[in-house]
Chain A
Amino acid sequence: MRKNGLIDYTTICALVVLAFSFVIIGCSPKDGESVAASKATAQVIKNKGSDTMVNLAQAWAERYTGITSTASVEVSGGGSGTGVAALINGTVDIANCSRQIKPKELEQATQNTGKVPQEFIVGYDALAVYVHHDTPIDKITIPQLAEIYGEDGTTTKWSDLGITHTDCPSDRIIRISRQSNSGTYFYFREALLGKTRDFELGSLDLHGSKDVVEVIGRTPCAIGYSGMGYATSHVKMLEVATAPGEPYYAPNLENVLAKTYPIARPLYMYSLGEPTGEVKAYLDWILSAEGQKIVEKLGFVPLESD
């Protein structure tokens, strides 16, 4: 049958085994050669955590790669919880967190890795309440939002808020939310409802901050929340007051820095132990004027510059 032995199966098998052994060599970190090779190029700083911060972290990483040749930054999202979990397991250098680390987690990390996580506030994030830009409403109070979003809330129609929304014939408020374990969801829920009440089910739980704004931009009936940096021309941000009768504040730099805008939170980065070497250089650069410029560019609020 076989006229010419083009394929020598022994050779193929040999190649496959070779490939296998490369895989294995690749996955054993003790192998001196491969580690040395990767060290020679650049040290990898692993950065993981909050989805809110992932764009920011990515922007930093991208810019930083252009500045230094001794370190490269690997960014992944997944949420604040993932970041902290990775910190506890000691698998990241820096964890991004849009909430403060819990005492229990701090203790776990210290126990597991022998190093105490160090906290850095790297910027602020204001959650803006978005509606479609044709919606005849400019201001809203926290209790009103709580009735819209909260479990067994009483506000389900736009007319309940005292407005007539002509672009929304069904009059029904379409609630846009985030998946239930994102840092944004947690923070917004706590800001609105405290720790005891839950959100009403049936909202559209979208996967990304951008998704929220885009859907609202196409949907006159919708209301939603997302970082203030995500605003587009199709949506508008509402001014928010803590209670009826209190002054309304728009989500902008001054109000967040003055701590008058009620739904704003600090953004944290945690390193394992006192940062050293490349990790310290990176964190220092983030806190420098240049790093903070990127914070502002992405629609977050930079730290106060003295």
Chain B
Amino acid sequence: MNFIHICFSFKGRINRTTWWMMQLLTLPILLIASVITYNAYTALAMPILITSVYLIPIALILALIWVSLAVTTKRLHDRDKQAWWLLIYFIPVIALFELGFMKGTRGNNRFGPDSETSSETVIEMLIRLCGVSAIVFVFGIFFFVFREGAGFLFGGLNLGQFLTSPEWYPTSLSNKRYGTLALILGTFSVTALAMCIAVPFGLGAAIFVSEFCSPKLRETFKVIIELLAAIPSVVWGFIGLTLMNQLIIAVFNAPIGLTMLNGGIMLALMSVPIIVSIAEDALKAVPDSYREAAEALGATRWQVVYRVLLPAAKNGLLAAVLLGAARSIGETMAVLMATGHSVNIPSGPLSWIRTLTATIAAELGEVARGDEHYQVLFIIGILLFTITFIVNLIADLVIKGIRQQ
């Protein structure tokens, strides 16, 4: 029985699993379609051209009602009952029991042959849908963030000023200015600082773990690195606010310990696990024959690493660094709590800065929906999404590059 038949035909039989799977399949679509339709009704003031797009979900809902009736009828056939039993829908618990839990009649009945295998097509459809869900979600994220910010992005925002002016005055009464240069520089400087710390340590640890360790020690290290990765970012922020703050004041005699350095150290600790695990994978991916050949020539371990493995794995290592940086750029709570949160062009490790992410986190709570300021925060979201998307894309291409070699 093919998928179309299962969905739309009122003939034949289906078993319990198929029925459940069809519910799983139709329910989310029904939900989404109704939400869109509901929004269409509340936005009827829109031009007819735009609202007519919303006819699609209404058609979808009607189709889904058909599907639901067809599926349930076939399930009733399986129970050797005629379609008028559909009225059972009005008895909630018993309907669920009858449709979802009772076995169909064994062997052929008046509606057709046994239905044991009919669930497969539906399950496969479900699997396919879940498989592409990631694409839907990525587009969804972009769409909804874009949707909230689009109005101002195309109507009024001075994009040049947005990207090049350091003046961030979103709430000025006389002269609102939305310049994010200081925030962009803040994000990049703290990320750069974090990478300066994290890259040597991360790569060093990756080399040590993959080349110089006994298997047992390696497992231990990997477990600890994994645990390090699991610590929530708000806890890192809390550490930055309390412990690291006092340390920086004491060590550097700085007036305030909530600085770029503080945030950089926190970000470094957060991105090191990523760098280690990806860099280690990259080193592992170098064929053992390379190592053996070098060792046969009398090279020591370090010489093997330095002369053979690093050049051979350089793409993977680059990807590790890129993904670590992407993590730092996107981090929110730790930098919100640890960097001082001050609109400044960064002037050194002990200056206070503010990042793009922290700005959204600090200000989104207090803006009125639809306000210019609100929309600008979403535009910053688009900017962040784009930056991390590009970095991730490059990292992916770099990794794919290795695979093809």
Contacts and interface: CB of A to CB of B under 8 A. Distances in A.
Interface of A: 10, 13-14, 16-17, 20, 24, 51, 77-82, 84-85, 168, 170, 174, 179-182, 185-186, 190, 195-198, 201-207, 215, 218-222
Contacts of B341: 179, 204-207
Which one of A80, A195, A203 has the greatest number of beta carbons of chain B within 10 Å? A203
Contact of B343 (A80, A197, A201): A201
Interface in B298-319: none
Nearest to B373: A181
Given A204-B342, A205-B343, A218 B249 contact: yes
Contact of A201 (B245, B336, B344): B344
B171 interface: yes
B340 interface: yes
A85 B368 contact: yes
Given A195-B174, A218-B249, A85 B342 contact: no
A98 B130 CA distance: 47
A205 B365 contact: no
A202 B343 contact: yes
A174 B366 contact: no
Contact of A14 (B20, B173, B249, B367): B20
Interface string B329-359: 0000000110011111000000010100000
Smallest CB-CB A-B distances: 6 pairs: A79-B366, A78-B365, A181-B366, A201-B343, A179-B362, A85-B368
Contacts of B221: none
A24 B363 contact: no
B405 interface: no
A17 B23 contact: yes
B362 A10 contact: no
A10 B352 contact: no
B16 interface: yes
A181 B171 contact: yes
A222 B223 CA distance: 43
Interface stretch (B50-58, B60-68, B161-169, B225-233): B161-169
Which one of B31, B167, B170, B172 has the greatest number of beta carbons of chain A within 10 Å? B172
Contact of A195 (B23, B173, B255, B365): B173
A202 B256 contact: no
Given A201-B182, A207-B341, A180 B255 contact: no
Contact of B173 (A80, A168, A196, A207): A196
Contacts of A221: 255
Contacts of B256: 174, 204, 215, 218-219, 222
Nearest to B126: A13
B28 to A, nearest CB: 9
A167 to B, nearest CB: 10
B394 interface: no
Contacts of B293: none
Interface size class of B (residues with CB under 8 A): 35 or more
Nearest to A50: B366
A290 to B, nearest CB: 30
A120 B255 CA distance: 42
B367 A181 contact: yes
Contacts of A82: 365-368
Interface in B92-109: 100-101
Given A170-B255, A181-B373, A198-B172, A79 B20 contact: no
B354 A205 contact: yes
B294 interface: no
Nearest to B365: A78
Given A14-B101, A222-B255, 17 more contacts: A13-B20, A14-B100, A16-B24, A20-B27, A51-B366, A80-B366, A179-B341, A179-B366, A180-B168, A181-B170, A181-B363, A195-B174, A201-B168, A202-B344, A205-B341, A205-B354, A206-B341
A170 B109 CA distance: 93
B399 to A, nearest CB: 33
A220 B27 contact: no
Contacts of B23: 17
Given A84-B368, A181-B171, A205-B341, A219 B255 contact: yes
B171 A204 contact: no
A196 B362 contact: no
Given A17-B20, A181-B170, A186-B171, A207 B336 contact: yes
A138 B24 CA distance: 69
Which one of A10, A204, A215, A218 has the greatest number of beta carbons of chain B within 10 Å? A204
Interface string B106-147: 000000000000000000000000000000000000000000
B31 A24 contact: yes
A78 B23 CA distance: 39
A37 to B, nearest CB: 16
Contacts of B352: 202, 204
Contact of A202 (B21, B170, B342, B362): B342
Contacts of A80: 366
B365 A77 contact: yes
A220 B255 contact: yes
B175 interface: yes
Nearest to A182: B366
B332 to A, nearest CB: 12
Nearest to B253: A169
A168 B255 contact: yes
B14 interface: no
A219 B321 CA distance: 36
Given A186-B171, A198-B169, A204 B362 contact: no
Which one of B175, B256, B373 has the greatest number of beta carbons of chain A within 10 Å? B256
Nearest to A89: B369
Nearest to B371: A81
Nearest to A16: B24
Interface in B167-223: 167-175, 182
A10 B258 CA distance: 54
B9 interface: no
Given A14-B100, A185-B171, A197-B174, A204 B340 contact: yes
A222 B172 CA distance: 24
B22 to A, nearest CB: 10
B17 interface: yes
A130 B376 CA distance: 32
